[in-house]
């Protein structure tokens, strides 16, 4: 009987929660994610070499994108929280990715804002 070893990790990125002074209103920074490097060991082998991007939670209803090819398009989160989940078989040691992210607020939002807690 053989065993398969896997690599799995999850990274959580967070933007700021903003509160408008008058009237009381909450808004959230969106998060922009850009993959500078995205090289999977075996591109298109989606069963054992992929990255999933989730929003506020890591269940399937919060899945934003699923990458298993050779290209990972930039994306904007629907909230101020995002999770990146990488999964691969142990032999996928040559996998590389470099992710840049920033948070921002839609320029259409107006009013006095402060960082919330």
Residue-level length of the chain = 117
Where are the chain's structural domains?
6-107
Q: Where are the beta strands (DSSP E) in 29-115?
A: 30-39, 49-54, 63-67, 75-76, 81-89, 96-104, 113-115
Give the model's confidence band at 22: pLDDT under 50 very low, under 70 low, under 90 confident, else very high.
very low
pLDDT given at position 104: 78
Q: pLDDT, tens digit, for every residue of 64-79?
A: 999 988 889 999 888 7
Q: In terms of CATH architecture, what is 6-107?
A: Sandwich (2.60)
pLDDT given at position 67: 92
Phi, psi of 77 (to 5 degrees): -75, 155
Distance of CA 100 to the CA centre of its chain: 10
pLDDT given at position 27: 55
Distance of CA 90 to the CA centre of its chain: 22
Cis peptide leading into residue 14 (ω within 30°): no
Residue in the structure block whose two tokens are 């995002």: 82
Q: 40-44, 52-56, 94-98, 104-108: lowest mean pLDDT where?
A: 104-108
């Amino acid at each position: 009987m053989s065993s398969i070893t896997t690599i799995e990790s999850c990274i959580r990125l967070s933007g700021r929660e903003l509160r408008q002074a008058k009237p009381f209103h909450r808004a959230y920074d969106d998060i922009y994610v850009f993959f500078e490097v995205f090289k999977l060991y075996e591109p298109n082998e989606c069963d054992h070499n992929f990255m999933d991007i989730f929003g506020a939670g890591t269940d399937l209803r919060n899945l934003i994108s699923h990458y298993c090819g050779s290209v990972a398009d930039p994306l904007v989160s629907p909230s101020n929280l995002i999770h990146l989940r990488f999964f691969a078989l142990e032999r996928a040691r040559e996998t590389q990715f470099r992710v840049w992210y920033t948070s921002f607020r839609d320029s259409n939002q107006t009013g006095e804002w402060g960082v919330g807690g």
